[in-house]
């Protein structure tokens, strides 16, 4: 259980949320702890609290983060006292880290460029590659309701059997809808659900509303919308998003290759593969050709 917020913690999170990496120097710094000449102020805490957790952090977690900062600062200052920052190994590590960071940053900016895949291209891919979208197992498409108690589950099923719309009842009572805004599950196989559901669910016919099925999550009621047998081709709507991801990956690969080609045209590349001979026991010809081809 999370501890209740007190006024100081609320104030802390407000300050954390509005603090930026390039903040201006605050005249009245609220120093929490000082190790030697180094200070940890209230506005610095965002650097020691994981960004994705700062809205859920508890007082105990804050204390743990602060203690971790103190420990690290003590170790860091001892390393400086021992002049470990002057080692050539550190310089290599920093250069390598800088290089990898800049490469990743540039590629990220390149690969996040907006790419639009025309609908007709998606359709054409589907029509030409239907063999890649064949079901290996029986799949069903179903609507789903999840409730915590068996009595409620039986009551819910009776309401649907008597004529109430499955969707309307689900919006009213289903935990799955309340948590994930989900009623329709799409197509899935036995392997996609827990065994206690799979063993019962796939016996029902299309159009059936199942009796409650118990799992560790509660009691499930399904309405079977459709069933597809093995070796049938998946519908276009089922695989459309998958096709888009494939086409996007292909476009990004092409963008990367074009980018590298453009860079090669700007920089002279010299090679001397004779130096590699001492690294391989087998023939150098294949290795030389392989590296040479990659530079073209």
Residue numbers of the domain that contains 93: 87-134+242-265
- Strand 38-41 and strand 31-35: pairing? antiparallel
Runs of H (alpha helix) within the chain:
7-18, 59-81, 88-111, 119-128, 150-161, 166-173, 175-180, 195-201, 236-264, 284-294
Q: Give the mean pLDDT of the chain.
A: 84
Residues 169, 220, single domain; the answer is yes
For the whole model, what pTM was predicted? 0.58
Q: What is the CA radius of gyration of the chain?
A: 30
3-state helix/strand/coil string of 179-209: HHCCCEEEEECHHHCCHHHHHHHCCCCCCCE
Residues 97, 150, single domain; the answer is no
Residues 109, 189, single domain; the answer is no
Rounded CA-CA distance 96/193 in Å is 45
pLDDT tens, 190-209?
A: 999 999 999 899 999 999 99
3-state helix/strand/coil string of 217-267: CEEEEEEEEEEECCCCECCHHHHHHHHHHHHHHHHHHHHHHHHHHHHHCCC
SS3 32: strand
- Residues 6 or more apart whose CB falls under 8 angstroms from that of 185 comprise 141, 142, 143, 144
Number of domains in the chain: 4
Question: Closest Cα to residue 45, out of 9, 79, 3, 78?
Answer: 9
Integer angstrom CA distances of residue 129 from 101, 119, 206, 239, 240: 38, 16, 29, 11, 12
Residues 44, 19, single domain; the answer is yes
Q: Which of 171-180, 211-220, 264-273, 284-293 has the lowest mean pLDDT?
A: 284-293
Rounded CA-CA distance 291/296 in Å is 9
Best-predicted range by mean pLDDT among 8-17, 64-73, 216-225, 286-295? 216-225
Instruction: Please indicate, yes or no, if residue 236 is contained in any of the structural domains.
Output: no
Quick one: pLDDT at residue 295?
A: 60
Quick one: pLDDT at residue 6?
A: 46
Quick one: pLDDT at residue 100?
A: 94
Average pLDDT over residues 133-159: 95
Residues 23, 51, single domain; the answer is yes
Rounded CA-CA distance 35/66 in Å is 12
Q: Which residue has the tokens 């971790």?
A: 68
Residues 71, 45, single domain; the answer is yes
Tokens matching residue 38: 């180094």
Confidence of residue 273 (pLDDT cuts 50, 70, 90): confident
Q: Is residue 296 over pLDDT 70?
A: no
Tokens matching residue 238: 């089922």
Residues facing residue 219 across a β-bridge: 147, 214
Residues 162, 24, single domain; the answer is no
Average pLDDT over residues 117-144: 95
Quick one: pLDDT at residue 291?
A: 60
Question: Closest Cα to residue 39, out of 64, 84, 73, 10?
Answer: 73
pLDDT tens, 222-256?
A: 999 999 999 999 999 989 999 999 999 999 999 99
Rounded CA-CA distance 87/71 in Å is 23
**pLDDT greater at residue 25 or residue 215:** 215
Residues 164, 221, single domain; the answer is yes
pLDDT tens, 44-69?
A: 877 667 655 545 678 888 888 889 88
Confidence of residue 270 (pLDDT cuts 50, 70, 90): confident
Instruction: Please indicate, yes or no, if residue 203 is contained in any of the structural domains.
Output: yes
Residues 246, 206, single domain; the answer is no
Residues 258, 285, single domain; the answer is no
Cβ atoms of 34 and 73 within 8 Å: the answer is: no
Q: Is residue 86 over pLDDT 50?
A: yes
Instruction: Please indicate, yes or no, if residue 235 is contained in any of the structural domains.
Output: no
Residues 224, 292, single domain; the answer is no
Cβ atoms of 120 and 236 within 8 Å: the answer is: no
Residues 108, 167, single domain; the answer is no
């Amino acid at each position: 259980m999370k501890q209740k917020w007190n006024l100081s913690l609320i104030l802390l999170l407000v300050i954390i949320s509005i603090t930026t990496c390039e903040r201006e120097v605050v005249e009245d710094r609220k120093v929490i702890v000082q190790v030697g000449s180094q200070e940890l102020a209230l506005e610095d805490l965002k650097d020691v609290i994981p960004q994705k957790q700062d809205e859920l952090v508890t007082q105990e977690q804050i204390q743990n983060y602060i203690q971790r900062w103190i420990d690290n600062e003590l170790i860091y200052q001892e390393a400086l006292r021992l002049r470990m920052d002057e080692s050539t190994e550190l310089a290599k590590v920093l250069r390598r880290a800088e290089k990898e960071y800049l490469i990743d940053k540039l590629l990220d900016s390149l690969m996040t460029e907006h790419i639009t895949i025309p609908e007709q291209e998606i359709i054409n891919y589907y029509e030409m590659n239907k063999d890649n979208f064949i079901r290996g197992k029986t799949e069903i498409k179903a609507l789903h309701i999840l409730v915590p108690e068996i009595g409620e589950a039986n009551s819910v099923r009776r309401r649907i059997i008597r004529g109430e719309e499955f969707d309307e009842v689900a919006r009213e009572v289903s935990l799955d809808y309340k948590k994930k805004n989900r009623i329709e599950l799409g197509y899935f196989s036995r392997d996609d659900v827990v065994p206690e559901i799979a063993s019962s669910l796939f016996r029902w016919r299309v159009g059936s509303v199942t009796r409650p099925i118990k799992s560790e999550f509660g009691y499930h009621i399904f309405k079977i919308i459709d069933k597809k047998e093995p070796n049938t081709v998946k519908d276009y709507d089922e695989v459309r998003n998958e096709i888009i991801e494939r086409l996007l990956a292909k476009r990004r690969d092409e963008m990367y290759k074009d980018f590298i080609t453009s860079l090669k045209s700007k920089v002279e590349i010299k090679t001397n593969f004779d130096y590699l001979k001492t690294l391989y026991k087998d023939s150098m010809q294949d290795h030389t050709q392989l590296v040479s081809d990659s530079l073209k």
